[in-house]
């Protein structure tokens, strides 16, 4: 690999900075590029408290690391592409009463498609990121596999399940072989100027976590008042727009009851929020569409996997049965709490990502 060209997606954070440093040490010809995906408000762009990978502060931090490492650094303006591919989809899904995961969409459409293609045009052999995940070759040497990162608490393979063979062949994830504490210590030992930087956590285009405010002007139909009903169809109150709610939500319902109430379902065509008790949140089955397998193949018969219905959800044993070419039914051994349309269900076999799909609806 020595001497081969690699473009590192540098977010200005510790992980991508250490990834770049490791690749320099391994003899790669390294260039750092920071993706400008979204323009934050001026007062937020340079905030030391902003825990987002976007903004002017991220660009400056990445540039300081590049100077320290002695590598070129550039900024790629992908705001137009990000708006079309990620934000438009995010607003559209909320308008349908669904809760999408924009990071999965961004990885699929921006980082590992558009950015990867731009890197190829620059003559790069690989793109590298600071993801806590690993790329390997299967024992037969026939296919690439996507594996969980060594640090299970920081593992980000869930967000990468839509990668395929063509992408994995050209992607490096150097920090996936280390736990976070090791990555942080490497940053200190190497004198990287971001060694003590706080991890980014918020969504880049809504760094304060205020999705309704962000969406109000982009999906106005999702913020029309409508009825709140119980499972028997009785009207219990009025909601302020389905864009303010997601499955499993308890706060903000504005309804007094002897027991806690939760959002059980969102009926977008009828502009209705359905609520019930916590026990009503549990389901054993779901239907998923737009199914993608990392291997590039198709699911032709039922398979047993461990499945996650959201990033922080604990994996659970499940049977995945094909319904059509890109639709599956997932049946869990035990009921799962708050299966949410729009989120992704991701399938694992031990530490290897099999694939996943977009949750359409839950079944009893």
Of 173, 143, 137, nearest to 155 by C-alpha is 173
Query: 328, 249 in Cβ contact below 8 A?
Result: no
Distance CA 50, CA 23 (A): 28
Kindly list the distances between the CA atom of residue 298 and the CA atoms of 15, 135, 175, 328, in Å, as whole numbers in the listed order: 34, 21, 30, 11
Q: Which residues are catalytic?
A: 106, 204
Count Cβ atoms within 10 A of the Cβ of residue 337 and give its class: 0-12 exposed, 13-18 middle, 19 or more buried.
Answer: middle
Token pair 């809760």 in the structure block, residue: 99
Strands 352-363 and 73-77 turn out to be unpaired
Kindly list the distances between the CA atom of residue 103 and the CA atoms of 27, 53, 203, 206, 311, in Å, as whole numbers in the listed order: 31, 12, 8, 12, 11
φ, ψ at 291 (rounded to 5°): -70, 135
Kindly list the distances between the CA atom of residue 303 and the CA atoms of 34, 114, 298, 345, in Å, as whole numbers in the listed order: 40, 33, 12, 14
H helices present in 107-210, as ranges: 115-121, 165-168, 180-189
């Amino acid at each position: 690999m020595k001497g081969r060209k690699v473009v590192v997606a540098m977010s200005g954070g510790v992980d991508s900075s250490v990834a770049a440093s490791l690749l320099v040490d391994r003899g790669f010809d390294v260039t750092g590029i920071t993706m400008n995906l979204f323009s934050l408000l001026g007062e937020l762009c340079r905030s030391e408290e902003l825990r987002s990978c976007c903004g002017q502060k991220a660009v400056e931090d990445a540039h300081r690391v590049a100077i320290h490492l002695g590598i070129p650094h550039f900024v790629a303006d992908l705001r137009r592409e990000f708006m079309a591919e990620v934000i438009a989809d995010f607003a559209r899904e909320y308008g349908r009463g669904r809760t999408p995961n924009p990071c999965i969409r961004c990885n699929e459409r921006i980082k590992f498609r558009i950015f990867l293609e731009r890197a190829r045009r620059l003559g790069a052999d690989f793109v590298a990121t600071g993801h806590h995940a690993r790329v390997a070759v299967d024992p037969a040497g026939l296919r690439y596999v996507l594996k969980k990162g060594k640090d299970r608490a920081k593992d980000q393979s869930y967000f990468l399940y839509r990668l395929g063979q063509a992408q994995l062949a050209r992607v490096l994830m150097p920090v996936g072989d280390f736990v976070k504490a090791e990555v942080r210590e490497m940053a200190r030992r190497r004198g990287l100027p971001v060694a003590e930087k706080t991890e980014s956590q918020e969504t880049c285009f809504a760094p304060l976590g205020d999705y309704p405010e962000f969406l109000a002007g982009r999906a106005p139909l999702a913020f029309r008042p409508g009825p709140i009903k119980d499972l028997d169809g009785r009207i219990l109150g009025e909601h302020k727009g389905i864009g303010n709610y997601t499955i499993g939500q308890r706060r903000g319902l504005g309804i007094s009851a002897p027991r806690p109430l939760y959002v059980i379902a969102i009926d977008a065509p009828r502009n209705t929020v359905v609520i019930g008790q916590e026990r009503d949140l549990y389901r054993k089955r779901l239907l998923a569409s737009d199914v993608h397998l990392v291997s590039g193949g198709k699911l032709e018969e039922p398979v047993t996997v461990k499945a996650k219905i959201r990033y922080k959800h604990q994996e659970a044993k499940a049977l995945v049965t094909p319904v059509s070419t890109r639709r599956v039914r997932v049946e869990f051994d035990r009921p799962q709490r708050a299966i949410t349309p729009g989120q992704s269900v991701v399938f694992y076999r031990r530490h290897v990502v099999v694939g996943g799909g977009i949750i359409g609806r839950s079944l009893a």
